[in-house]
Structure 1
Amino acid sequence: MTVQTTSIDTLVVGAGQAGVAMSEHLSKHGVPHLVLERSRIAERWRTGRWDSLVANGPAWHDRFPNLTFAEIGPDSFASKEQVADYFVEYARKIEAPIRTGVEVTKVVRNQGRPGFTVETSDGTLEVLRVVVATGAFQRPVIPAIAPADERLTQIHSADYRNPGQLPPGNVLVVGAGSSGVQIADELQRAGRQVYLSVGAHDRPPRGYRGRDFCWWLGVLGEWDAEIMRPGREHVTIAVSGAHGGHTVDFRRLAHQGVMLTGLTRSFEAGVVHFQDDLAENIARGDENYLSLLDAADAYAARNGLDLPEEPEARVIPPDPACLTNPLRDLDLAQANVTSIIWATGYAVDFRWLQVDAFGENGKPKHQRGVSQEPGVYFLGLPWLSRRGSSFIWGVWHDARHIADHIATQRKYLAYYDSPTI
């Protein structure tokens, strides 16, 4: 792209799973478009994850409809590199007009003429529409309680790669969603003493009665649920595809050697203080786990499914000592904790998008990805249209809806450009 101003109908910002999906559906409608990616296609899968990460869903589920994974079976869990390669291949397959190494730095609405002016690291664009396909995992968040202690190595889970990256010593992992749990498990298996701070979470079974939990959530209508229960938007899900896929069980992690604690409350003079809520958080996770088993059993009975019984799935291991006698304070130096990994999620960062598309809380205001700012669209956000919106298959379906909306708008505009009028 040259430094001079270039015009395009629709600009898609980001070439991860959302941007690639958006490009496919725009192409099907014949919408001229350009996808800009500041790094490489699906870059965050390659360099924003730890080395051993695999997808949390099986390959038959965590993909787009029109391409399967070439190197693994449908019930296997793709490595992060396989997932990134998948999107590169998908982009090639659909001939997506993607330009990498170009960062979008500013978007403003034009005055007195249609569309937007877009400033990039490689010139200026005039566009009629902008699809923000940067997802929800843009800025790693480390909470303000993090101690200012130079003796500690502190990193976000986005920057963790492997146990050898950390200095000798024990590790505190704060956050017990999919990332925190898997990192804690990997560090403990590598010989580290790990303290895992556990907050509120959902804990689905990896599989039940011969079916993966992704299948169960599908047939039970959970993935397509369009109404979010209050307070459930940011509840973490403890699930893992590591080691061939297994159910996350915090009690088993503790019996394995991981020291569980409650939610991290504060740091003071080298001592970390935990909330007295570990038992409550574990109990709520168990309740979530058992409720899915109940729903699966009811569905199987109601539909006459001949699936093998699995009574052992309801066996809860005995409570470990760290659960019955929880740790409330930990002297980091005395415990030889030299590293803290903050598996505490991400925030969005739309500072470059200088349009009237946000509410007072800074979150995008939209309906199924169609922004309150005409001509601006969002894709890849949690609960964009349904529970599965931020997952690989979910973003593909949301992209189709947005492309349909764009195509309809183009038809209205084309009506008055017709030479027959």
Structure 2
Amino acid sequence: MSIQEVEVVVVGAGQAGVAMSEHLTDRGITHVVLEKSRIAERWRSERWDSLVANGPAWHDRFPNQEFAGVHPDAFPDKETVADYFEQYAARFNAPIKCGVEVRQVTKREGKPGFEVQTSDGTYAALHVVAATGPFQVARYPRIIPADSGLHQLHSSSYRNPSQLPEGNVLVVGAGSSGVQIADEIQKSGRQVYLSVGDHDRPPRQYRGRDFVWWLGVLGKWEANTPPQGADHVTIAVSGADGGHTVDFRDLAAGGITLVGRTKGYENGTITFEPGLAESIARGDDNYLTTLREADEYVLRNGLDLPEEPEAHVLGELPECVTTPLSEIDLAEAGITTVLWSTGFGVDYSWLQVDAFDDSGYPDHQRGISKETGIYFLGLPWLSRRGSNFIWGVWHDARYVADQIMIQLGYGKYRSEAPELSLAHSVA
């Protein structure tokens, strides 16, 4: 089979790959987007049934297209989001090839660029964009052995409560996914235990504005590095049921038992780290700090937004927080399922170039790899706090496309200046 030559190969047709393709198309750069499944596949098949976007439709979108039939302040469901990206790609006839698995990317010998080996044959490209995003490999600690008799699954495999065996559930991880899944399972009639670690807890709405608006006007989306030690701190916020502020007091009032960070397992008993109240307090402080900064912004700019003094008043901590469980005998508690909502890792084993640090994570500046010609897109904090959000990845893709265009310009340079003569006349 002959080698197919393009200027750029983009790997992945999720939100990052679609955004990248739009900017490359606008610049007239020949490219192909290779996707092993369908466009935005993870939204369709690797999320639970009731998932909705965590940002309102007016904000969590690309600048050039709104969500059809969705109120700007509503939260589109996962199928609507996936359809959005399919429709967006169709509007500029994105050169996306679905059902193509990228197996290996290596540098070409004696030639510029890279050889991309796929299930569709081999491609030669001057530049390769890894647009596979941050949600590649389900990640959870191997605390409980596989032969424990417990049903264990990652949040990416969870669909709805009916798929779980009879019995109660321990949900480990209290970010956006964990709190929503725990709440859904509790409301289905099971007893849920929720293991809580450090988290950010912004208000869903305050003074008539969604938290995404507040983070925007307060300049927080543009932060280019996370706070020290907070690279992987999760955000406890929900778009479910029309969107609401997550308060762990409310979850406890609804019957969920809050426990500390999961520590270990032995002989059917799971143990938890101390410090649950402190984790809740840090989340509360994050919440209240945002409210205070919002109030200062309103006052400073003379905005006519309704006051919400009650939002600053937090209720008492529930007993499960003030006197937390240090361990649970899973059999006695009737727990038959442990659901790990502990995030994802990346897998770039197919990208066999010098583009990674000692830990195997991409070594880059704003998506520009230390390996010339290799680019990353869709990762958290790629250039700013908003980088792995729908709107943020679009702006990052524009920057990466500009860098590719600059490098293509260098590659096409040919000197046309006449040869300079060493001989010259002297007056």
Whole-Å separation in 2 of the counterparts to 1:117 and 1:229: 38
* Cross-structure match for 2:312: 314
Report whether the alignment pairs 1:243 with 2:273. no
Q: Which has the larger radius of gyration?
A: 2
Report whether the alignment pairs 1:400 with 2:395. no
Confirm or deny: 8 A CA contact 2:55 2:239 kept in the other structure: yes
Report whether the alignment pairs 1:147 with 2:142. no
Whole-Å separation in 2 of the counterparts to 1:232 and 1:32: 39
**Matched residue SS, 1:330:** strand
TM-score by length of 2: 0.96
Aligned partner (choices 107, 110, 116) of residue 109 of structure 1: 107
Residue deviations 1:176-217 (CA, integer Å, cap 9, x gap): 000100000000010110000000000000010000000000
Unaligned runs of 5+ in 1: none
* Cross-structure match for 1:157: 155
Residue deviations 1:133-184 (CA, integer Å, cap 9, x gap): 0001100012121333342110000000000000010000000000100000
Whole-Å separation in 2 of the counterparts to 1:111 and 1:265: 49
* Cross-structure match for 1:363: 361
Whole-Å separation in 1 of the counterparts to 2:416 and 2:290: 56
Whole-Å separation in 2 of the counterparts to 1:417 and 1:149: 68
Confirm or deny: 8 A CA contact 2:355 2:370 kept in the other structure: yes
Aligned partner (choices 205, 208, 214) of residue 207 of structure 1: 205
Whole-Å separation in 1 of the counterparts to 2:76 and 2:13: 19
Confirm or deny: 8 A CA contact 1:381 1:390 kept in the other structure: yes
**Matched residue SS, 1:192:** coil
**Matched residue SS, 2:289:** helix
Moved more, 352-361 or 140-149: 140-149
Whole-Å separation in 1 of the counterparts to 2:359 and 2:8: 27
Confirm or deny: 8 A CA contact 1:53 1:79 kept in the other structure: yes
Whole-Å separation in 2 of the counterparts to 1:83 and 1:420: 56
Aligned partner (choices 259, 262, 283) of residue 264 of structure 1: 262
Aligned partner (choices 239, 252, 255) of residue 254 of structure 1: 252
Report whether the alignment pairs 1:173 with 2:171. yes
1:417–1:410 Cα change, 3 Å: farther
* Cross-structure match for 2:371: 373
RMSD: 1.3
User: How many residue pairs were aligned?
Assistant: 419
Confirm or deny: 8 A CA contact 1:50 1:158 kept in the other structure: yes
**Matched residue SS, 2:412:** helix
1:193–1:377 Cα change, 3 Å: same
Aligned partner (choices 109, 115, 126) of residue 128 of structure 1: 126
Aligned partner (choices 348, 351, 374) of residue 349 of structure 2: 351
Confirm or deny: 8 A CA contact 1:206 1:239 kept in the other structure: yes
Whole-Å separation in 2 of the counterparts to 1:313 and 1:290: 9
Residue deviations 1:260-305 (CA, integer Å, cap 9, x gap): 0000000010000011111010000000000000110011111111
TM-score by length of 1: 0.98
* Cross-structure match for 2:30: 32
Aligned partner (choices 61, 80, 83) of residue 82 of structure 1: 80
Residue deviations 1:345-385 (CA, integer Å, cap 9, x gap): 10000000000001111111111100000000000001100
* Cross-structure match for 1:17: 15
Residue deviations 1:3-25 (CA, integer Å, cap 9, x gap): 43211110000000000000000
Confirm or deny: 8 A CA contact 1:252 1:317 kept in the other structure: no
Confirm or deny: 8 A CA contact 2:148 2:268 kept in the other structure: no
Whole-Å separation in 1 of the counterparts to 2:69 and 2:239: 17
Whole-Å separation in 2 of the counterparts to 1:418 and 1:278: 69
Whole-Å separation in 2 of the counterparts to 1:94 and 1:49: 27
Deviation at 1:417, TM superposition (A): 8.2
Which aligned pairs between 1:293-332 and structure 2 lie closer than 5 A?
293-332=291-330
**Matched residue SS, 2:311:** helix
Aligned partner (choices 364, 382, 385) of residue 384 of structure 1: 382
**Amino acid in structure 2 at the alignment position of 1:326:** P
Whole-Å separation in 2 of the counterparts to 1:342 and 1:191: 20
**Amino acid in structure 1 at the alignment position of 2:150:** L
Deviation at 1:73, TM superposition (A): 0.7
Aligned partner (choices 203, 213, 229) of residue 227 of structure 2: 229
Whole-Å separation in 2 of the counterparts to 1:148 and 1:28: 50
* Cross-structure match for 1:292: 290
Percent identity, please. Answer: 63
**Amino acid in structure 2 at the alignment position of 1:46:** R
